């Protein structure tokens, strides 16, 4: 008789757990490496020279990084605000109260940025905005904000729509029964109930805008680097420790926002 095997498990498949754990390890190893290297005191990227915050200090005092960071925040905030506002309206118009003609068309149009390869949209916007830049002479941040607002719409729309679909219609009916005007019902009942969805949508839009490289690279005018395009521009043969430090900070921001997003969407009702 051979040694007694583990109890037979229906859901176990040979090797699956090993592969899965290896995948989790491999998924986080590069990120951990990047974070560790950002604290490396050595100028040479190959040698560990002890713990140091010098690259964070260097990045913090670099005027180009400061400008890019402020620009990233301005664009992401404006884009998140605009995208969330129009997405909230669209979600209110396309959920609950039954289907209507053209609803699928609206749905496809809103999700269009998720389907078209980003490089294609980037090229299209380059051509379109180049013509407008020549015609109007305006070179400001407006183009970036407009482009970011557009591709952030589906990311803001989806969580808001999900929240609305899970909501109870009877509360609004009750408000109407108590002689609330449609506006009062919206302001006092619907809006507070859908607030977590709106907050979640705004956060996703903000993260997506903050992360964008390709469209920004094609749309920006000279001297309009955001943090990601600045980092891409810094890349030569290898990554500088300063870029590692900026990456780590961006990583921390993303993780914090995501954690908030999960806490917001998990508390239902």
Partner 1 sequence: MGGAEAARSRERARTGWLLSAPALVLLLVAASGPLLIVLVYSFLAPGQYGNVVWQFSLDGWFQVFLQRDIFDGTVGPADAHLTIFWRSVKLSILTTLITFALGLPTAWFIATRPPDRRAMWLFLITIPFWTNLLIRTFAIMEVIRNEGLLNNLLIGLGIIGQPVQIVFTETAVLIGMAYVYLPLMVLPLFAAIDRFDFRMIEAGYDLYASRWQVLRRVILPIIRPGIVAGSILVFVPSLGAYVTPRVLGGGKQMMIGNFIELQFGQGRNWPLGAALSMLLLAIVMVALLVYVRATTREERDG
Site for partner 1 in 117-156 (CB under 8 A): 117-121, 123-128, 130, 146-147, 149-151, 153
Among 70, 116, 169, 195, binds partner 1 (CB under 8 A): 116
According to the binding rule CB under 8 A, does residue 19 interact with partner 1? Answer: yes
Stretch that binds partner 1, among 50-58, 88-96, 171-179, 190-198 (CB under 8 A): 88-96
Q: Which is nearer to partner 1, 74 or 126 (CB)?
A: 126
Among 185, 190, 224, 247, binds partner 1 (CB under 8 A): 247
According to the binding rule CB under 8 A, does residue 92 interact with partner 1? Answer: yes
Cβ neighbours for 150, distance < 8 A, ≥ 6 positions apart? 83, 113
Site string for partner 1, 167-206 (x = CB under 8 A): ----------------------------------------
β-strand partners of 51:
40
Site string for partner 1, 22-61 (x = CB under 8 A): -xx-xxxxxx-xx--x------xxx---------------
Rounded CA gap, 241 and 37, in Å? 7
Contact, 209 vs 76, CB < 8 A? yes
How far is CA 110 from each of CA 104, 165, 209, rounded to the nearest angstrom?
A: 10, 17, 16
User: Within a 10 A sphere around the Cβ of 164, how many other Cβ atoms?
Assistant: 19
Rounded CA gap, 103 and 95, in Å? 9
């Amino acid at each position: 008789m051979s040694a007694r095997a583990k109890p037979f498990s229906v859901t176990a498949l040979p090797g699956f757990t090993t592969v899965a754990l290896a995948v989790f390890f491999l998924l986080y190893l590069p990120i951990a490496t990047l974070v560790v290297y950002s604290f490396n005191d050595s100028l040479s990227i190959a040698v560990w020279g002890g713990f140091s915050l010098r690259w964070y200090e260097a990045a913090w005092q670099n005027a180009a990084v400061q400008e890019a960071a402020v620009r990233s925040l301005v664009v992401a905030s404006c884009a998140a605000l605009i995208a969330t506002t129009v997405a909230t309206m669209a979600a209110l118009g396309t959920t609950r109260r039954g289907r209507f003609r053209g609803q699928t068309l609206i749905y496809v149009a809103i999700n269009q940025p998720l389907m078209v390869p980003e490089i294609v949209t980037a090229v299209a916007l380059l051509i379109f905005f180049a013509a407008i830049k020549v015609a109007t002479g305006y070179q400001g941040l407006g183009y970036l904000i407009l482009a970011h607002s557009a591709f952030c719409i589906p990311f803001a729309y989806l969580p808001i729509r999900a929240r609305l679909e899970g909501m109870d219609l009877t509360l609004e009916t009750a408000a109407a029964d108590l002689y609330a005007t449609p506006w009062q019902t919206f302001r006092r009942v619907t809006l507070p109930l859908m607030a977590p969805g709106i907050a979640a949508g705004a956060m996703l839009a903000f993260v997506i805008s903050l992360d964008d490289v390709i469209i920004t690279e094609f749309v920006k005018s000279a001297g309009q680097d955001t943090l990601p395009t600045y980092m891409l521009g810094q890349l030569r043969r290898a990554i500088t420790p300063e870029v590692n430090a900026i990456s780590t900070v961006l990583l921390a921001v993303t993780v914090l926002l995501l954690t908030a997003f999960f806490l917001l969407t998990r508390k239902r009702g």
